[in-house]
Amino acid sequence: MRPIYGITIPALTLSMAVSGIATALEPPKNLRWVDSPIRDTVVPSSPGSLVASPASSSSIRLSWSASSDNVGVTAYLIFRGGNQVGTVPGTTFAYQDTGLSASTTYTYTVKARDAAGNVSANSNVATASTEPEGNTGHPFPFAFSDPQFFANTSASDPIDLSCNVPRSDLTITEHREPAAIINNCENGVATIRRVRLGGDGGTNGTVREGYRCGGSGTMNIEDTWLEAKGSGADHADVVQCYDPNNSPAATMNVKHTTIRAYTTSATAGIFVADSYALHLYLTDVLFWGGPYGLRVHDDGRPGSVHLNNVCFYGESETNNSFGFGAFLLDSTIAEWNNVNWCTIHNGQLVVHGPIPQP
């Protein structure tokens, strides 16, 4: 006689074969374990905040925020017009689509995929148009005299920013107090576009401090050349964010912009401190000169930095344009994609090598 005893546990089956007649004092014999593997069926969340922007007459840049998954995202799938055109690793949040036609509009979505092959739903839809034929597609201005500023008019007073009133095509070359651009928008959106501050190589202008942050809204800086000379030990930075009272955190989006500082003892390219809570997004940005190009201290307040396609001017860690270092970051680094040492030579951007995330 061979009774069979069975016990079922979730994901595991325990089978016992007992020879003879079992008694309270007789242990089971021939115990066998059988594993039933659990398959991952959890789909990653959709990528967020997909943005498309023209890179040249034949290419478009994409960037997005990370998806989440119970195990981990292993890849992002890029779609143009519903057809897959590329794949990047799960730690990469940017893509450049090349081989496109000039002056043409393209539509994109992105999906996330995990190791089990589960694929997320589409991200938001992002649309961009390539530049006209012959456009070099520089990711940021190469000089104060960049051709995109030829239509600018001179601003005789500081630029005071109001909510939802964009300011564009302006030039400031003279010293203004307390700064050349002052954000007075508390909770809305303040935007500058194709604005240039400073002077050619720091010789024809006397801008001491560039952009003064403020409020808890959204600040957009696009297609802009920002240059400041500072004054000795005075913290007169190109972009300066001080305000321990801003709550909730503000957001700053800097795109296609050059941040040019000069190496006085205290003039950084972007300086965030004194408990100013800021989520800083940098896309296609060049930091050039200063004790530090990018210096962020969140001082215990919620904040983050996101770097996508960012250059620090120089050839290496030991040969660059910064007095103390390219950056000093005491904040959450949420994104660090395609960050490089770069220089400009004969009107062309030269990429010398990647900068590892600190």
Domain membership of residue 87 as a residue range:
48-129
Whole-model pTM over 0.75: no
Domain boundary among 100, 129, 158: 129
pLDDT for the residue 248: 78
With 70 as the cut, is the pLDDT of residue 133 above it? no
Give residue-wise pLDDT tens across range 43-88.
999 999 898 888 777 788 888 899 999 999 999 999 999 999 999 9
Q: Are residues 31 and 56 in the same domain?
A: no
Q: Determine how β-strand 167-172 pairs with β-strand 153-154.
A: parallel
pLDDT per residue over 181-236, tens digit each? 999 888 889 999 999 988 655 555 667 788 999 888 899 999 999 988 877 667 77
**Considering the domain boundaries, does residue 141 fall inside one?**
no
Question: Do 85 and 169 fall within a single domain?
Answer: no
Q: How many domains does the chain have?
A: 3
Residues 165 and 99 reside in one and the same domain: no
Domain edge (last residue) among 59, 94, 129: 129
Q: d(Cα 180, Cα 324) in Å, to the nearest integer? A: 26
Q: CA distances (Å), 245 to each of 182, 268, 304, in order? A: 17, 22, 18
Instruction: Measure the CA–CA gap between 94 and 7, rounded to whole angstroms.
Output: 51
43 occurs within a structural domain: no
Whether 140 is covered by a domain: the verdict is: no
CA gap 101, 220 in Å, rounded: 29
Asked if residue 139 belongs to a domain, the reply is no
List, for residues 324-345, the tens digit of each pLDDT value.
999 999 888 999 999 999 999 8
| 27-41, 175-189, 246-260: least confidently modelled range | 27-41
343 φ/ψ angles, rounded to the nearest 5 degrees: -135, 170
For range 284-313, the mean pLDDT: 91
172 and 280 fall within a common domain: yes
**What is the domain-level CATH number for residue 111?**
2.60.40.10
User: Which one is predicted more confidently, 10 or 257?
Assistant: 257
pLDDT of residue 5 exceeding 70, the answer is no
Do residue 208 and residue 165 come from a single domain?
yes
Nearest to 214 by CA among 170, 267, 251, 169: 251
- Whole-angstrom CA distances from 356 to 74, 214, 316, 335, 346 are 20, 31, 12, 12, 27
Residues 262 and 183 in one domain: yes
- The verdict on 163 and 258 lying in the same domain is yes
- What confidence score (pLDDT) does residue 146 get? 84
- Residue 288, domain CATH: 2.160.20.10
Question: What is the pLDDT at residue 200?
Answer: 53
Residue 138 in domain: no
Please report, to the nearest 10 degrees, the dihedral formed by the alpha carbons of residues 210, 296, 282, 241 taken in order.
-40
pLDDT of residue 3: 47
Q: Whole-number mean pLDDT of the chain?
A: 84
Closest-CA residue to 225 (of 246, 254, 203, 249): 254
